[in-house]
Chains A and B, each alone.
Chain A
Amino acid sequence: MTAVIEVRGLTKRYRDAVAVDDVSFSIERDTIYGLLGRNGAGKTTVMSILTAQNFATSGDVRVFGEHPYENARVLSRMCFVRESQKYPDDATATHALGAARLFFPNWSQELADRLVDDFQLPMRRRIKKLSRGQLSAVGVIIGLASRAEVTFFDEPYLGLDAVARQLFYDRLLQDYTEHPRTVILSSHLIDEVSNLIERVLVIDRGRIIMNEDTDSVRDRAATIVGDSAAVDAFVAGREVLHRESLGRVASVTILGALTHEDRERLAAADLDVAPVSLQQLIVRTTQSADGAASEKGASR
């Protein structure tokens, strides 16, 4: 595997707030990443710095082996679809797509036309007048049709209904299969994207707390349900992520894959095992944020 992005010791400080705290990671070529985390965790800040739309306080960022700042060689190979992209007042979708076509060397007009059709995007109306969903569609279309070697989608689904979101996921997978590239998808709808993403990158309070194959995370945690004394006996010495109880019944989520022996012990003790979805796992591991997640404004 080769890395297209390498980040070392990246820190971003806004006056007193630390939005990104000394993070190091790399992004592999031709892989779909899920960039997950709570509001204010630092997702948008990291993406802005990688695409040279924001400055790092310290640390080193390399994209395709080069510094991205004012570097046209690097920037034309990247596309950043922002959640709140601003367009000129008079611009229509025709203008936005026309500009993107000039900028991105791998632009596919055929794909863009098809997506405009799929999303039924009004091309001549001013973007200012579009609905939130239609505005998101403009970003999604540019992000997919640019076929940039590295594409960032920052919560691209705002205002899109379930049908339109599924359309986005389907088109993304389809085009990625035919034209592999690196995609970094930031999302709160973790369950919706968990089957699309090959790697999961979780950021919590400015730090990367998980950077792994999605599949290897899927059996990482389990919830044990049953008589609370028996549950307690089983979970003793294990890392407990969450605990709930109702009368004599306890439900405890533990970290660590269950072995065959564990399963036999559970069956013998008459305990049930419930799977933990990626979304639940991430909620549980980032929940201990102690209210530190209210810095959304500071991270922009």
Chain B
Amino acid sequence: MIEEGRPLFLQIAESVEDSIVDGSLAEESQAPSTNELAAFHRINPATAAKGITMLVDKGVLYKRRGIGMFVAEGARARLMAERRASFADRYVEPLLAEARKLGLGPDDLGALIRERASASSAQNERNAR
């Protein structure tokens, strides 16, 4: 789960953000503590604390004195906006680069995406039943 080559505190912060974005960590609910994160990821507590501090500075978490860290109101919407902004760089760019190598143009990609999207939504409907 932990990757090499990237600062650990960033990865810890991102793992907390992931839980906020996918809704498993709701706004105004208590975030995992530094020690819980350190024990779960088996990392130094100081590193986990650095990740938490980064999220506090970003306004994603806030501290309730004597209780712990909580997810700020509006954090999910802000994280989603931030991720949408970087979506093109992180996912579309590499997709286009690989497609170019294979001689696939934007229209081919569009067709592929629509095809896959309808197949997976049909799959989801079947699973939901």
Contact assessment for A218 and B44 in the assembled complex, using a CB-CB cutoff below 8 Å: no
A275 touches B6 (CB 8 A): yes
Q: Once bound together, how far apart are the Cα atoms of A31 and B3, in whole Å?
A: 23
CA distance A216 to B6 in the complex (A): 9
- Given A177-B38, A267-B93, A195:B43 Cβ within 8 A: yes
Closest to B50 in A: A215
Give Cα A203–Cα B78 distance, bound, in whole angstroms. 45
B112: interface (CB < 8 Å): no
| Main DSSP-derived SS at the B contact region | helix
Name the interface size band of chain A: 20 to 34
Residues of B within 8 A of A169 (CB): 42
Cβ–Cβ < 8 Å partners of A173 in chain B: 38-39, 42-45
C-alpha spacing A216/B101, complex, angstroms: 35
Residues of B within 8 A of A212 (CB): none
Most buried by A among B46, B93, B101: B46
Q: Which of B46-73 contact A (CB under 8 A)?
A: 46-47, 50
CB distance from B88 to the nearest CB of A (A): 13
User: Are the C-beta atoms of B46 and A198 separated by less than 8 Å?
Assistant: yes
Q: For chain A, what secondary structure do more than half of its interface residues adopt (helix, strand, loop), or is it mixed?
A: mixed
The interface residues of chain B lying within 8 Å CB-to-CB of A216 are 7
How big is chain B's contact interface, by range? 20 to 34
Q: A267-B97, A270-B97 are in contact. Are A222 and B5 (CB under 8 A)?
A: yes
Q: A5-46 vs B: 1/0 string, CB under 8 Å? A: 000000000000000000000000001100000000000000
Q: In the bound complex, what is the Cα–Cα distance between A276 and B101 (angstroms)?
A: 27
Contacts of B80 in A (CB 8 A): none
Residue B41 contacts which of A174, A195, A197, A219 (CB distance < 8 angstroms)?
A: A195
> With A and B bound together, what is the CA distance between A196 and B2 in angstroms?
13
Distance, CA A267 to CA B94, complexed state (A): 8
* Interface membership of B4, Cβ < 8 A: yes
- CB < 8 Å neighbour of B2 from A176, A195, A219: A195
Interface membership of A113, Cβ < 8 A: no
Contact yes or no, A218 B6, CB < 8 A? yes
Q: How far is the CB of B20 from chain A (nearest CB, A)?
A: 22
The 10 closest A-B pairs by CB, nearest first: A275-B5, A275-B4, A277-B4, A195-B43, A215-B7, A198-B46, A198-B44, A177-B45, A177-B35, A218-B7
Query: 17 more A-B contacts (CB under 8 A) besides A218-B6, A219-B7, A277-B5?
Result: A169-B42, A174-B39, A195-B2, A195-B8, A195-B47, A198-B44, A198-B46, A214-B8, A215-B50, A218-B4, A219-B6, A222-B5, A267-B94, A275-B3, A275-B5, A275-B6, A276-B4
Q: List 29 A-B contacts (CB under 8 A).
A: A32-B44, A169-B42, A173-B38, A173-B39, A173-B44, A173-B45, A177-B45, A195-B2, A195-B41, A195-B44, A196-B42, A196-B43, A214-B47, A215-B7, A215-B8, A215-B47, A215-B50, A216-B7, A218-B5, A218-B6, A218-B7, A219-B6, A267-B97, A270-B101, A274-B5, A275-B4, A275-B6, A276-B5, A277-B5
